Amino acid sequence: MAAYTKKQNILIILLLIFSFSCSREEEGLYAENVEPVSNDHTYTGPVDYLTDIGTININVMANGNHPGRNDQSFIKNINAPNFGYCHPDVQYFPNGFNGYRYWMVFTPYFGTVGTTQDSKRYENPTIVVSNDGLNWSPATSAQGPLQRTPSVNESLSEKKDEPKQGFWSDVDWTFENGRFSLYYRGSFIKAMAFKSRGAKSQNNVRKGDKNAQRTIVRQTSADGVHWERLEIAYTSNLPYSPKDNHIISPSFVYNGSGYVSYEVENNISPNFPGNDPSYVIKRTSANGLDFSNFKQSKVVNFINKPWVQVNPVFAPWHIQATYVDGYYFLCIAAGDVKKCTADTLYLAFSKDGENFKVLPKPLVEHDTYRSCVFPMTTTSNAINFGAVIAYKTGVFKYREFQLSKQKIDDCLSK
């Protein structure tokens, strides 16, 4: 009995040491602060980014069935007027790619899909194509999402009083060196699910060794139709993130020499530089799969924060990044982060990818969510953008606008 008690005491001591060690590790887990740049310059070029060209219609069905199930009650028609669209990201090809100029990934949510506990089962990566930016259809004759809903057996509990239902969300992609790289977030999905759905790779073995509340995955494709099995990029476990932070709306760009990712982290742990409700974190990667850990990442500096003038509790909630001709852009949906929502939509730009100036007038003032901007054509003087503006009604609208490179440079100058 004495020997048993002694073993118990040793076990308790080891657990206390482990817990203290983990606690100390998290206390010291700070992303690097960017050396702040400040100025009072304002963008003085043409501001023609406020008018929608039209409402987008996506001719596709939302499927909330997990693999092996085909319950018709979990299939919803989200064509107009049954809009139910969320999380858009667009790649534009002036000369077309596989017959289409516009390629978009999105997830069904909001609108006819709803925002209830059951609605998250529809947030599955869905790829559609268009030649006019307004009328969209599936990239293949198979209308199903790229990744089906996680089953109950694949899911973790989010809250004790809610049923188990893992979900996908926050899709984002790049196109570089002739390939799409599609990233998205898995929430409350067991590690074993990533192993069964993912590639049989050492990367997945190494990064998927234990459950995480959130996991960022990547799939690649040379044609937008046939996709490699998913690979884990990083998770919400240490050392990638302060334990169980949300790694919200990660967005990725390829800048010609490597990959840069941006994400929103909620200020819910002692790992951030101030009292803002959320911060945007920048990571880097040489291969698009192994990104810097949280401690080696950067806290983005916003030279101005016009959303605070709208409401002092506002902060970035969802973001989308793009890169063109040496400029980084962030499309920022800002709102009451503590209520898990956005309201106003802003556009920010940067030359170094770390210090961003925000256009003071929002793209949209109310009821917007994660939207996207994308370069269409460029000249030596200007960048011509398209944009898919996402509203919390489940509606997408399309617009186009131009920004002056010289005016951007003037605005960013010290």
State what percent of residues in the chain have pLDDT above 70: 92
**Would you state the pLDDT for residue 50?**
83
- Taking the model in full, what pTM does it have? 0.92
Q: What is the pLDDT of residues 218-276, one digit of tens each?
A: 999 999 999 999 999 999 999 999 888 899 999 999 999 999 999 999 998 778 878 99
> Mapped to the 3 state alphabet, what secondary structure does the chain carry?
CHHHHHHHHHHHHHHHHHHHHHHHHHHCCCCEECCCCCCCCCCCCCCCCCCCCEECEECCEEECCCCCCCCHHHEEECCCCCCCEEEEEEEEEEEEECCEEEEEEEEECECCCECCHHHHHHCCCEEEEECCCCEEEECCCCCCCCCCCCCHHHECCCCCCCCCCCEEEEEEEEEECCEEEEEEEEEEECHHHHHHHECCCHHHHHHCCCCEEEEEEEEEECCCCCCCCEEEEEECCCCCCCCCCCCEEEEEEECCCCEEEEEEEECCCCCCCCCCCEEEEEEEECCCCCCCCHHHCEECEECCCHHHHHCCCEEEEEEEEEEECCEEEEEEEEEEHHHCCCCEEEEEEECCCCEEEECCCCCECCCECCCEEEEEEECCCEEEEEEEEEECCCCEEEEEEEEEHHHHHHHHCC
**Would you state the pLDDT for residue 29?**
64
Structure tokens at 132: 């006019």
**Would you state the pLDDT for residue 130?**
97
**Would you state the pLDDT for residue 188?**
97
Contact 151, 67 (CB under 8 A): yes
| pLDDT confidence bin for 321, thresholds 50/70/90 | very high
CA–CA distance, 328 with 348 (Å, rounded to integer): 8
CATH number of 2-412: 2.115.10.20
Q: How deeply is 106 buried, as exposed, middle or buried, from its count of CB atoms within 10 A (0-12, 13-18, 19+)?
A: buried
Q: What is the pLDDT of residues 66-88, one digit of tens each?
A: 998 999 999 999 999 999 999 99
Report domain extents, the chain. Answer: 2-412
| pLDDT confidence bin for 9, thresholds 50/70/90 | low
Instruction: Give the number of other Cβ atoms within 10 Å of residue 28's Cβ.
Output: 10
Q: What is the largest CA-CA distance in the chain?
A: 82
pLDDT at residue 1 is higher than 60:
no
Those residues whose C-beta lies under 8 Å from the C-beta of residue 48, and which sit 6 or more positions away, are 401, 402
Phi, psi angles (nearest 5°) of residue 298: -120, 145
CA–CA distance, 398 with 407 (Å, rounded to integer): 24
Nearest to 346 by CA among 309, 380, 376, 394: 309
pLDDT at residue 14 is higher than 60:
no
Structure tokens at 378: 């460029």
Q: What is the pLDDT of residues 286-319, one digit of tens each?
A: 999 999 999 999 999 999 999 999 999 999 999 9
How high does pLDDT run on average in the chain?
91
Q: What is the pLDDT of residues 132-176, one digit of tens each?
A: 999 999 988 667 899 999 999 999 988 888 889 999 999 999 999
**Would you state the pLDDT for residue 28?**
57
